[in-house]
Chains A and B, each alone.
Chain A
Amino acid sequence: DQQVKQNSPSLSVQEGRISILNCDYTNSMFDYFLWYKKYPAEGPTFLISISSIKDKNEDGRFTVFLNKSAKHLSLHIVPSQPGDSAVYFCAASAPDTDKLIFGTGTRLQVFP
């Protein structure tokens, strides 16, 4: 049972345009969400997070939006750069636990 879902396995975006990566979850107990970026042969790198008490968090070119009623979050990257090409994982955590539940990832390719 996949509690965190990333339904788009891949996304291709032109440099300078916006990249939107989506994530859905089923467990209404999740209260903290994170996005990680992963390059080949490296471990995931933390990108941005959001608590369930917020609906938006912004850090430079990266913004995460949370819609609790829809159990949906999205990561916006604007403007997209070729160096953003990587696999992006959405992760969630429930109260009283530190473990993360990951989605299956979306491979983003930013082309010139």
Chain B
Amino acid sequence: GAGVSQSPRYKVAKRGQDVALRCDPISGHVSLFWYQQALGQGPEFLTYFQNEAQLDKSGLPSDRFFAERPEGSVSTLKIQRTQQEDSAVYLCASSLVAGVVSEQYFGPGTRLTVT
């Protein structure tokens, strides 16, 4: 079945480089979420879209992080001037509805390693 897909699955960046992580949600899903999961921790919320509108970006750790979903489907998380503390797995999730908490469907994640 067509679940949430993310690309690339693995990314190695040198400190200071910019990276772009892509998320393809399940078709028709209104809500899209980005989470960051550090080693040994649970996922931590970064930002949330309802269709193309970014309704919550309270979890973005700095202004180096930027996310967009211009047409309400595919989303890109961009990290500028990467630093070692950005190394983590970045998870994307989507859910069918908005405004009602329901299960979120997660992609496999992108493992970012900053050297």
Contact = CB atoms under 8 A, between A and B. Distances in A.
A104 B41 contact: yes
Of A6, A41, A89, A104, the most chain B CB neighbours within 10 A belong to A41
A34 B42 contact: no
Interface stretch (B14-22, B65-73, B99-107): B99-107
Contact of A43 (B40, B95, B98, B108): B108
Contacts of A6: 42
Contacts of A91: 42
Nearest to A31: B101
Interface residues of B, number: 27
Nearest to B106: A43
Given A43-B91, A44-B91, A98 B107 contact: no
A100 B105 contact: no
Contact of B45 (A34, A41, A45, A99): A99
A44 B107 CA distance: 8
Contacts of A101: 45
B103 A98 contact: no
A25 interface: no
A36 B91 CA distance: 14
A111 interface: no
Contacts, number: 56
Contacts of A105: 41-42
A99 B106 contact: no
Given A43-B4, A43-B91, A100 B108 contact: no
Interface in B65-115: 91, 93, 95, 98-101, 103-109
Determine which residue in B42, B106, B107 has the highest number of CB atoms from chain A within 10 A of its CB, and name it: B42
Counting from the closest, the 6 A-B pairs by CB-CB distance are A43-B106, A102-B42, A46-B103, A99-B45, A93-B101, A32-B101
